[in-house]
Amino acid sequence: MENREIARILHETAELLEIDGAIIGRYRSYEKAAELIYSIPERIEELAKDRKKLTELPGIGDNMAEHIDEILKTGDYGLRKKLLKKYPATLLDVLSLQGLGPKKAAFLWKNFKAGTVEDVAKLAREQKLRDVPGFGEKTEENILRAVEFFKKSTGRFRINAAEATAEQVAAYIQTLGKQIASVTPAGSLRRGKETIGDLDFIVIPAGKYSQKSVDAIFEHILKYPPIEEVLAHGENKISFLLPNGMQVDVRVIPPESYGAALLYFTGSKEHNVALRGRANAMGYTLNEYALTTLKSGKTVAGKTEAEIYAKLDLPYIEPELREMTGEIEAAEAGKLPKLITLDDIRGDLQMHTTASDGKNSIEEMAEAARDLGYEYIALTDHSKAVTVANGLDEKRTLAQIKKIRAAEKSVGGIRLLASSEVDILKNGALDLSDEVLAQLDLVVVSIHSYMNLERAAMTERILAALENPYTQILAHPTGRLVLRRDPYDYDMERVFDACRERGVAVECNAYPDRLDLRDAHLRLAKQRGVKVVISTDAHSTSQLQVMKYGVQTARRGWLEARDVINTLPYEKFLAALRAKPGSTKKDRSASRARSQSG
Ligand code: DGT
Ligand code: CA
Ligand code: CA
Ligand code: ZN
């Protein structure tokens, strides 16, 4: 069982308990355990084999360890089930509405019998809540916005979850061995979208293609143990549902149609429609089997995507660009970007260590990054305002700088930038004194509190942070959490213009729950001439691997290596950063080089 699933059960128990009016300490302990389990890299299922290891985790006592055991054994939790007899399961959806909270949800349930998202939306639409104490017109608006978000996000999965499931399914299909020539994921996963509705696979049988070879593959797939339900079983298509609610569509295709099928099932639908229109205008038909002439039905291409694009007089268009946001025009004009790749990345500029809320030491992070082939990294523990993450005050920051300098010598083979993820306070001031900021090699700033400020106030707050001459990178600039939290509201164009004028870079945070900036915003940043960095925000060595999601998102934002400054070698990267007060760019990299060697 995945940590995520255990955390969800505990979290739902906490919310149901709060609805039930439990004493505060009780639901808090479930909530705290859920948060911990969601965030740690170790697998709870492994730890639970040794009770002592489980209870060594902060906030997990003997009782909670019992509950976790029960969840691992039964896949559910008795108290949660009991509460769900008392309240409808749809109340969990209501509880997941942003900003509603268990108190208000409980109130609506008790007083209006509103047990579904639609019930709650109806109350807000019919303006039945504006005169209710504790609610009001503003709450009605917020509820309606939250309902929209809920509808958009249900039934979708974050890319890392989709990718993990896709790898398992593909590996299973491959176990049929030499009867399979290839298994290729298509759909939104191949386009690198941040959320995935369902998984699409193209399977090519080895040897001669026949209904018999297709049926043999389906027979094998139907034996995949996790399958909950088979949704469709056609001649060359099968669809099934997995226990996590993910749907999988598999098509078995003859090898000569591989390119046409891959093109078709990669999408997007809009891109396909445009290609088909183009094909028709050129005297062809395009479907999932081939590109053929309209007149005689003769196949002109189908084996690869590239040959189909070529016959349509277009260069190959990368899957991440196939969203009908100008890629066909750019392709016609020979102006497609040469998209950045993971190999282009030479450094990672946001990560946490045990000094704040990370799981590994400076040395461990540095060694892991060096093993990934990076030339430099920035160690960016939180600053003091982020108390939940054990943020560092000025004194601890200075000590941390010393440790980072020492680690650079002891680890070797990688440059370590002494940095901090400095919190932007409510008024836009930075959470560390200028004297300490001056000591850092790199100043990354970001928001972790007061995320609901009005648009004007939020804009001013961020602009104020950019005014600070030490600010060099604006991290996770919108604060959104994929499928969980909307971005904060501010004037992004003004902020980007200020970034360009000051030379501040914006971050694409590669962590799959964030992916912030997202694709469209990255494209806007590029158009506005703003420098970009891609960083992982890793809280453990294994999380350094999430860089690929950031790169994929940057590709969806049309970025090239030259748009992203952590593709630069060390010295050039330093020179591309905003210059610190009192130093020309040249001085700075020279003095930094001196302090390294001396
Ligand atoms: P998702 O699953 O919601 O994240 O998004 P996709 O893009 O994977 O969409 P999906 O799974 O419905 O279909 C996969 C691809 O197959 C889609 O991107 C384009 C193609 N496709 C599916 N249905 C149609 C259709 O009715 N017309 C056309 N032109 N293409 C389709
Ligand atoms: Ca799909
Ligand atoms: Ca599909
Ligand atoms: Zn953190």
In the chain, what are the domains? 3-152 (1.10.150.110), 157-253 (3.30.460.10), 265-332 (3.30.210.10), 342-597 (3.20.20.140)
Q: Does 269 sit in the ligand 1 pocket, CB within 6 Å?
A: yes
Q: Which atom of ligand 1 is nearest to the CA of 198?
A: 2
Task: Give the ligand whose atoms come closest to the C-alpha of residue 268.
Answer: 1
Q: Does 155 sit in the ligand 1 pocket, CB within 6 Å?
A: no
Closest CA to 505 of 483, 484, 532, 485: 532
- pLDDT of amino acid 244: 79
- pLDDT of amino acid 596: 47
Question: Ligand 1: distance of its center to the CA of 295 in Å?
Answer: 28
Q: Give me the sheet containing 198-205, strands edge to edge.
A: 180-185, 198-205, 247-252, 237-241, 229-233
Bridge partners (DSSP) listed for residue 233: 238
Ion ligand 3 residue ranges (Cβ < 5 Å): 198, 200, 249
Q: Which of 157, 158, 188, 263 to mutate to test the pocket of ligand 1 (most atoms within 8 A of CB)?
A: 188
Q: 241: how many CB neighbours lie within 10 A of its CB?
A: 16
- pLDDT of amino acid 582: 78
Q: What residue's CA is closest to ligand 1, atom 9?
A: 187
Whether the Cβ atoms of residue 13 and residue 79 lie closer than 8 Å to each other: yes
Closest CA to 317 of 343, 286, 339: 339
Q: What residue's CA is closest to ligand 1, atom 17?
A: 267
* CA 556/CA 3 separation, integer angstroms: 30
Q: What residue's CA is closest to ligand 1, atom 15?
A: 265
Q: Which atom of ligand 1 is nearest to the CA of 195?
A: 4
Closest CA to 566 of 515, 516, 531: 531
Q: Does 272 sit in the ligand 1 pocket, CB within 6 Å?
A: yes
- pLDDT of amino acid 375: 98
Residue ranges in the chain whose pLDDT is less than 50: 588, 590-591, 593-598
* CA 355/CA 362 separation, integer angstroms: 9
Q: What residue's CA is closest to ligand 1, atom 27?
A: 269
